C-alpha cells in the first residue's frame, strides 16, 4: 500500500496561493464532454454525453487536437431532478478493449418533494443505463478512422444479454457486450428511490481481473470481474458531516477512482448543501478500508498523480468549482506538501482530467464549452 505522506492527517486547511496559469484550448467541437483518459500514441479518449437522447459517444482526440468519433449512439437522456443530460461517463482502456460506464440517463424524474426521485413514468430512453459496456476492437482506438454506431435496437439486444457486432465500413469491427447492469431503482426512505450512477472507472494493475467503478448515486465503489461481469461492493462511503443542523449530512458522491499503489484514490464531491472544505480525496486499501488522503477541498471531481524519482509523488486535484454556492469557477491544485498550491482557478465546468507526463501537460474536459483544455506542467 502506498504511504499517504500524512496528507489526510495534517491540520492545515488553507491552500498556499501561487501564480495561477491560464489553460489553453486543445480540442473543440465536443458535445458535453464528461471523462477523458490517455489513449495510444499521444491521443486522448473522451466520453461525450451528446445533445439529445441516445447521442452519447466516445471520441478519439489525436496529438494535434483533431477529434474523431469512435463509438456513437450510446445511451443518454435528461437526468432527474433538473434535466441535465447524462449518458456515457467513465472510461478504461486495456489494449484493444474499451470499458464504458453509462450513467443514469432519464431513468427517473423529480419526485413530489425536493431531493426525491421516482422512476420515469414515460419510460427511459434506453434499457442499458446504469451499466458497463465492454467493447472489443480489431484495431487500436487511435488507428480507427470511422465511427461504429449503435442503433436503438442494439440497446435492446445488449439488454437481452446478446452480443452486438459492429462494422464501421472502413475495415474495422467492434464486439459490444453488456458486461454489468447495476440496479437503478432502489427504494430509499429519504429520496423515495435511489439510482445507480456509474461515473468513474479504473483498472488496477495489482488486480488485472477487476474493474473498479465509482458509483455517484449509490455512494460506493464496485469491483467488477472483467470476464463474467460479477459486481460486488468494494467500499461504501458514509454521509459527510456538514455542521448545518437542518441538514447534518451530505451525500459523499464518489465520482472518480484511480489506481494508486495496490489501492485506490477516490474523489468525493460532497453533495447538497455543498459546504466548502467538506470535499476530499479518499484512500481505499485492498480490503476496502478508507482513510482521508487530501481533505478540505470544495468539490473534488478528479485526482491524478505522478512519481518523482528521489522525491515524494506529486498529486493534482480537480474541483468542479472553488465554491459551488457562490458560483466560482473550477480549479486545479497540486500537492507535494499538505498545503497545496493553485495551478489554475479559471476552469469552466471541469469534469475530468488526464495527466500526460511525456508531454508535461494535464488535459481537462470543459463540459459547457464542449472542449478539452490543456494546462502546461513544469
CA 365 to chain centre: 11
Q: What Cα–Cα distance (Å) separates residue 106 from each residue in 113, 128, 184, 259?
A: 18, 11, 11, 30
Q: Which of 365, 375, 368 lies closest to 67 in space, CA to CA?
A: 365
Residue located via cell numbers 440497446: 155
Question: pLDDT, tens digit, for every residue of 165-175?
Answer: 999 999 999 99
Domains in the chain, ordered, with CATH?
24-239+249-376 (2.120.10.30)
**Predicted pLDDT of residue 184:** 86
User: Where does residue 378 rank: exposed (0-12), middle (13-18), buried (19+ CB within 10 A)?
Assistant: exposed
**Residue 378 pLDDT exceeds 90:** no
pLDDT score, position 1? 54
Tell me: pLDDT of 2 over 60.
no
Contact 227, 207 (CB under 8 A): no
Residue recorded with cell 474541483 = 319
pLDDT tens sequence across 156-207: 999 999 999 999 999 999 999 999 999 988 999 989 999 999 999 999 999 9
Does residue 23 have a pLDDT over 70? yes
Indicate whether 283 pLDDT > 60. yes
Q: What is the 3-state secondary structure (H, E, C) of 43-67?
A: CEEEEECCCCCCCEEEEEECCCCCE
pLDDT at 13: 33
pLDDT at 294 over 50: yes
* Tens of pLDDT, residues 205-239: 999 999 999 999 999 999 999 999 999 999 999 99
What is the spatial distance between Cα 230 and Cα 227, in angstroms, rounded to a whole number?
8
- For residue 291 the three cell numbers come to 482513510
pLDDT tens per residue, range 124-152: 999 999 999 999 999 999 999 999 999 99
High-pLDDT (> 90) share of the chain, %: 87
Note the pTM of the prediction, 2 decimals: 0.94
CA distance linking residue 281 with residue 301, whole number of Å: 9
Grid coordinates in use for 220? 460506493
- Runs of H (alpha helix) within 219-296: none
pLDDT at residue 9 tops 90? no
pLDDT tens digits, 311-361:
889 999 999 999 988 899 999 999 988 889 999 999 999 999 999 999 999
In the predicted structure, residue 12 carries a pLDDT above the cut 90: no
Question: Residue 19: is its pLDDT beyond 70?
Answer: no
Largest interatomic CA distance in the chain: 61
The Cα 161–Cα 180 span in angstroms is: 10
| Residue in the block written with cell 487530501 | 294
The region, left, alpha or beta by phi > 0 then psi within -120 to 50, assigned to residue 42 is: left
Confidence band for 18, pLDDT divided at 50, 70 and 90: very low
CA distance 133 to 203: 15
Residue 111 above 60 pLDDT? yes
What is the full DSSP assignment across 207-219? STTEEEEEETTTT
> Tens of pLDDT along 59-93?
999 999 999 999 999 999 999 988 999 999 999 99
User: With 90 as the cut, is the pLDDT of residue 115 above it?
Assistant: no
Q: How far apart are CA 299 and CA 347, in angstroms?
A: 13
Amino acid at each position: 500500500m502506498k504511504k499517504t505522506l500524512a496528507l489526510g492527517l495534517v491540520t492545515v486547511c488553507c491552500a498556499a496561493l501561487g501564480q495561477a496559469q491560464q489553460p489553453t484550448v486543445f480540442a473543440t467541437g465536443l458535445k458535453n464532454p464528461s471523462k477523458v483518459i490517455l489513449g495510444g500514441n499521444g491521443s486522448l479518449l473522451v466520453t461525450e454525453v451528446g445533445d439529445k437522447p441516445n447521442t452519447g459517444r466516445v471520441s478519439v482526440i489525436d496529438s494535434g487536437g483533431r477529434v474523431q468519433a469512435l463509438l456513437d449512439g450510446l445511451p443518454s437522456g435528461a437526468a432527474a431532478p433538473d434535466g441535465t443530460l447524462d449518458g456515457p461517463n467513465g472510461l478504461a482502456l486495456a489494449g484493444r478493449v474499451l470499458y464504458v460506464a453509462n450513467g443514469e440517463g432519464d431513468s427517473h424524474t423529480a419526485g413530489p418533494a425536493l431531493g426525491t426521485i421516482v422512476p420515469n413514468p414515460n419510460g427511459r430512453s434506453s434499457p442499458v443505463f446504469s451499466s458497463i459496456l465492454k467493447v472489443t476492437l480489431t484495431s487500436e482506438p487511435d488507428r480507427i478512422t470511422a465511427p461504429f454506431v449503435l442503433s436503438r435496437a442494439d440497446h435492446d439486444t445488449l439488454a437481452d444479454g446478446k452480443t452486438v457486432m459492429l462494422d464501421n465500413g472502413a475495415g474495422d469491427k467492434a464486439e459490444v457486450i453488456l458486461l454489468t447492469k447495476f440496479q437503478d431503482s432502489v427504494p430509499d426512505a429519504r429520496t423515495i428511490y435511489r439510482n445507480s450512477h456509474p461515473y468513474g472507472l479504473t483498472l488496477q494493475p495489482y488486480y488485472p481481473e477487476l474493474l473498479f467503478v465509482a458509483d455517484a448515486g449509490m455512494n460506493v465503489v464496485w469491483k467488477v470481474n472483467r470476464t463474467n461481469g460479477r459486481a460486488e461492493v468494494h467500499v461504501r462511503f458514509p454521509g459527510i458531516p456538514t455542521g448545518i443542523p437542518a441538514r447534518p449530512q451530505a451525500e459523499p458522491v464518489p465520482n472518480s477512482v484511480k489506481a494508486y499503489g495496490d489501492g485506490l484514490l477516490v474523489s468525493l464531491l460532497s453533495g447538497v448543501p455543498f459546504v466548502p472544505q467538506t470535499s476530499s480525496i479518499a484512500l481505499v486499501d485492498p480490503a476496502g478500508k478508507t482513510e482521508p488522503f487530501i481533505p478540505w477541498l470544495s468539490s473534488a471531481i478528479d485526482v491524478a498523480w505522478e512519481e518523482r524519482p528521489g522525491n515524494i509523488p506529486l498529486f493534482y486535484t480537480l474541483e468542479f468549482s472553488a465554491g459551488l454556492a457562490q458560483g466560482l469557477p473550477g480549479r486545479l491544485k497540486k500537492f507535494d506538501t499538505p498545503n497545496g498550491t493553485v495551478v489554475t482557478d479559471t476552469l469552466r465546468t471541469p469534469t475530468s482530467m488526464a495527466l500526460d507526463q511525456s508531454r508535461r501537460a494535464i488535459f481537462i474536459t470543459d463540459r459547457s464549452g464542449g472542449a478539452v483544455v490543456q494546462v502546461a506542467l513544469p
